[in-house]
Amino acid sequence: MELQVSSQERVEGFTRGEVILPCRYNAMPAEEVNIFWRYKDDRNVYNIVRGKADMADQDRQFRNRIRIFPEEWSNGNFSLLLTDLKDSDSGSYSCFIPTKDIHHQVELSVQEKPTPEPKVGPKSSSVSIKGQNLSPFLFLLLSPALHFL
Q: What is the pLDDT of residue 123?
A: 64
Look at 16-30, 49-63, 112-126 and tell me which has the smallest mean pLDDT: 112-126
Residue 149 has pLDDT above 50, yes or no: no
Contact 82, 19 (CB under 8 A): yes
Residue 93 falls inside a structural domain = yes
**What percentage of the chain has pLDDT greater than the value 90?**
50
Residue 77 falls inside a structural domain = yes
Residue 133 falls inside a structural domain = no
Domain membership of residue 65 as a residue range: 4-111
Q: What is the pLDDT of residue 132?
A: 56
User: Rounded CA gap, 73 and 28, in Å?
Assistant: 7
pTM assigned to the model: 0.71
CATH number at residue 92: 2.60.40.10
Residue 64 has pLDDT above 70, yes or no: yes
AA identity, residue 64: N
Tens-digit pLDDT profile for residues 71-104: 888 888 999 999 999 999 999 999 999 988 889 9
Residue 58 falls inside a structural domain = yes
Domain count, the chain: 1
Residue 9 falls inside a structural domain = yes
Residues 6+ apart with CB under 8 A from 20: 11, 79, 80, 81, 82
